[in-house]
Amino acid sequence: MPITTVSSRELNQDVGKAKRAAEHNPVVITDRGKPAFVLLSYAEYQRLTGGQGRSIVDALSMPGLSDIEFDPPKAGIQLRPADFS
């Protein structure tokens, strides 16, 4: 499958051209010469995702997710009395 590549500048100058290209194949959008985004037709997006959106429950129950270490620091929130004046 041929892939079209456009720079961010080219995309800004002719969005329609990128959209027409994405109807047939993915369009890679580069930022400073490096791939940064991919533009797909909605039909291709649905094909890749199985045609339905994923809920937060589905996303959080993905296999292997429990192997990721996640230990965020405690928030430094301090309580103060409410001012009702």
pLDDT tens-digit profile of 23-82? 999 999 999 999 999 999 999 888 887 766 667 787 778 788 778 888 888 888 888 899
Class of 4-52 per CATH? alpha beta
pTM of this structure: 0.58
* Distance in angstroms (rounded) separating the CA atoms of residues 42 and 46: 6
10 confidence band (pLDDT: 50, 70, 90): very high
pLDDT of residue 66: 77
Amino acid at 69: E
Indicate the domain borders of the chain: 4-52
pLDDT given at position 11: 94
* Of residues 17 and 72, more confidently modeled: 17
